[in-house]
Structure 1
Amino acid sequence: MADAPLLVFDFDGVLVDGMAEYWWSARRAALALCPQCTLPEQAPPGFSQLRPLIHKGWEMVLAALELSRPELNLPDYLSHYDRHLQAALVRWQVEPYTLQRSLEALRQEAIDTNPEAWLALHQPYPGVIERLQALSQGGSPWRVLTTKGGAFAQQLLQAYGLEPEAVDGHEQGSKPEVLLQLSRQRSHPIWFVEDRRPTLEAVRATAGLEAVRCFLVTWGYLAPGDLADLPAGISPLEPEQFAAPLASWP
């Protein structure tokens, strides 16, 4: 393509299905904070239902703590997630920073002690590795923008033999902030590929990012109705379209 775009990919839910690792790490972090809590080894259905609403890693730990409560009203929690999130912080007397630090410490311990087992908890989505390799071979620049710790995403990408031009984790700021920095530094048009509709809507609402093309993948951690009535500037991206030449993307 003339004037090839800079492709910016979210990580979890776009490139990799990490649901098993999410629960594995969140459960252990929750039990470290509340040893008397009872949580199953396998992710309960409620965790999968909450996942599309979760924005940052620390929220996963809080979700695990909340799912240990027998009296939890999950439908109401799903309908009023932000309100319940704040109430849960008060209920468990924790801070986001503490939860994030606990989560990342457990992840690092898992990587240090048994990296193969930790890697096995992640599954790249079908065709993703081959597509990203083709982008690199074709000279199309791409990078990763994630709310996961950047070092953890980088280790996974290296294990898959993938080399993005950069990995921006939560340490670099919010996704709109990072995209704004990129838009000021780069002459390439920016295409942002994400599985969380509220994140794309936040990007569309950010002054200075009007020219960023936004894509909502259909294979990620979507909430019911996420693909319905998408606002202008956000296009659904099917697996077949993702695999196709960039010139044919919606």
Structure 2
Amino acid sequence: MAPPLLVFDFDGVLVDGMAEYWWSARGAALALRPERQLSPIAPPGFSRLRPLIHKGWEMVLAALELSRPELDLEAYLGDYPGHIHAALERWQLQPHQLQERLEQLRREAIRQDPQAWLALHRPYPGVPERLAALAAEGSDWLVLTTKGGAFARQLLKAYGLQPLAVYGHEQGSKPEVLLRLAAEQPQPLWFVEDRRPTLEAVRQTPGLDTVRCFLVSWGYLGPGDAEQLPAGIQLLQPRQFAQPLADWP
């Protein structure tokens, strides 16, 4: 049997970038609305919203929302999609405006002081070593992220990691990219992600029923995300991740 092609999400699986998320989200939010008051220190509400955030522009919107003293965070958490729609109306902004401002800020940060920007991230313990060992096991791996591909490549290069490819948000949604990979690659696909709704969307996509899905326990999980997982999604613990692929759940 051919070895699998491992497809890794980036943020929350390979790299913990929570400090950078708030730094960049806050900076982009203040560039769009300089009159708002936002602490340099990430508020607890941002960490609670992070498991629900799917794309970069949502981080900027979350930062703007957290500048509102009257924000009902529990209601926000209870109906995230509805509140995202309402927030876009409230701030009179479009996703592309938020995304462009976020990526502009990141590009400028990398140009001015790349080491300071890189220092806002940290790879999860043992992850770079495990990825480097995959080559010895005869398994290729690539990255599939909703981050801009250029930013993911910059970080991977800093850690000395060379995936087969990096697919950023520019290449389409994760199910769309996985469908293309499934059509192009003879190898079985294993998809490693920290966002349960993304894995559920993959499982519900026709043509992806043979993709093995793993939810990592060390990512940005929300309350209950690791419980009662549907068929086809396995929880992956750090000790299992470190083991040979044949021993993964």
Shift of residue 55, structure 1, vs aligned partner: 0.2
List runs of 5+ in structure 2 lacking aligned partners.
none
SS at match of 2:36: coil
Given the two structures, how large is their TM-score scaled by the length of structure 2? 0.99
The residue number in structure 1 matching 2:76 is 77
Q: Distance in 2 between matches of 1:180 and 1:87?
A: 32
Structure 1 residue runs of 4 or more that deviate by more than 6 Å after TM superposition: none
Residue by residue over 1:73-123, the C-alpha shift from the partner in whole angstroms, topping out at 9 and shown as x without a partner, is 000100000000000000000000000000000000000000000000001
Q: Distance in 2 between matches of 1:154 and 1:21?
A: 16
The residue identity in structure 2 corresponding to 1:104 is E
The residue number in structure 2 matching 1:230 is 229
Asked if 1:41 is matched to 2:36, the reply is: no
Asked if 1:62 is matched to 2:61, the reply is: yes
Shift of residue 180, structure 1, vs aligned partner: 0.2
Q: Distance in 2 between matches of 1:178 and 1:134?
A: 25
List runs of 5+ in structure 1 lacking aligned partners.
none
The residue number in structure 2 matching 1:87 is 86
Residue by residue over 1:6-28, the C-alpha shift from the partner in whole angstroms, topping out at 9 and shown as x without a partner, is 00000000000000000000000
Q: Distance in 2 between matches of 1:138 and 1:153?
A: 24
Percent identical pairs in the alignment equals: 72
Given the two structures, how large is their TM-score scaled by the length of structure 1? 0.99
The residue number in structure 2 matching 1:203 is 202
SS at match of 1:12: coil
Of stretches 134-143 and 197-206 in structure 1, the one that deviates more from structure 2 is 134-143
Residue by residue over 1:117-140, the C-alpha shift from the partner in whole angstroms, topping out at 9 and shown as x without a partner, is 000000100000000000123331
Q: Distance in 1 between matches of 2:64 and 2:73?
A: 13
The residue number in structure 2 matching 1:171 is 170
The residue number in structure 2 matching 1:116 is 115
CA RMSD of aligned residues (A): 0.5
Alignment of 1:132-171 (within 5 A): 132-171=131-170
Aligned length: 249
The residue number in structure 2 matching 1:19 is 18
Asked if 1:96 is matched to 2:95, the reply is: yes
Shift of residue 3, structure 1, vs aligned partner: 1.1
SS at match of 2:227: coil
The residue identity in structure 2 corresponding to 1:205 is Q
